[in-house]
Amino acid sequence: MQSLIDHARVFPAKIADRQREFAELARGQHPQALFIACSDSRVMPSLFTGARPGEIFELRTAGNIVPPYRPQAACAVPGTLEFAVEALDVPEIVVCGHTHCGAVKGLIRPQAMETMPLVAQWLTSAGHRALDEDPDSVARHHLLTQIDHLRSYPFVARRLADGKLRLHAWFYAVDTGELLAHDPGAGEFRPL
């Protein structure tokens, strides 16, 4: 933790030569995309996209899960999603899954979640069961299910129909930094 504190303390001095860029951020945000990624500490969208402050709006959830639309559900995800789409008018949403995902392991082995009832409950929002034992295969199927869940939100569906929003499924390899993107036409993942 100390290294994080030390870095935070000297951060204002480190960005002193980017004063104009940071001052401009106080005027508002116009992110290029909403990134919905796993909370996993190894997955850093701003690192692999090179995004600068103000360029991506992030929603991090365990397992990059987007629960299906339920108007009365108490959950942080719908509100964050609605704000990004309705207030910030993001033109793109990227859902980013990854290799070696703990949540995906939990889908494959639900019994491992017995001591974590809140995690187990959250994983039911994933909307599917693991169909096989291959983690990457399950993770990619899981990722596409979350894309389907996104379409169930009325404000998302409306903008998709109007051509004002595009959805992307990306899959990140934590050990190589490589990214795959789902090609809906071909029905497969290909290098980004």
Count residues near Zn ion (CB under 5 A). Answer: 4
CB of 140 vs Zn ion, minimal distance in Å: 13
Site for Zn ion in 4-63 (CB under 5 A): 38, 40
Which region among 49-57, 88-96, 102-110, 153-161 touches Zn ion (by CB under 5 A)?
A: 102-110
Which region among 21-29, 94-102, 128-136, 143-151 touches Zn ion (by CB under 5 A)?
A: 94-102
Cβ nearer to Zn ion, comparing 40 with 130: 40
CB of 69 vs Zn ion, minimal distance in Å: 22
CB of 65 vs Zn ion, minimal distance in Å: 9
The Cα–Cα gap between 114 and 180 comes to 32
Q: Which amino acid is located at 184 in the chain?
A: P
DSSP assignment of the chain:
-HHHHHHHHHHHHHTGGGHHHHHHHTT----SEEEEEE--TT--HHHHH-PPTTSEEEEEEGGG--PPP-TT---HHHHHHHIIIIIS--SEEEEEEETT-HHHHHHH-GGGGTT-HHHHHHHGGG-S---SS-HHHHHHHHHHHHHHHHHTSHHHHHHHHTT--EEEEEEE-TTT--EEEEETTTTEEEE-
Which region among 29-37, 103-111, 151-159, 177-185 touches Zn ion (by CB under 5 A)?
A: 103-111
Which region among 24-32, 101-109, 142-150, 157-165 touches Zn ion (by CB under 5 A)?
A: 101-109
Given 36, 90, 95, 101, the residue binding Zn ion (CB under 5 A): 101
Cβ nearer to Zn ion, comparing 85 with 180: 180
Dig out the tokens for 75 from the structure. 């959950």
CB of 127 vs Zn ion, minimal distance in Å: 16
CB of 38 vs Zn ion, minimal distance in Å: 3
Cβ nearer to Zn ion, comparing 99 with 182: 99
According to the binding rule CB under 5 A, does residue 113 interact with Zn ion? no
Residues near Zn ion, by CB under 5 A: 38, 40, 101, 103
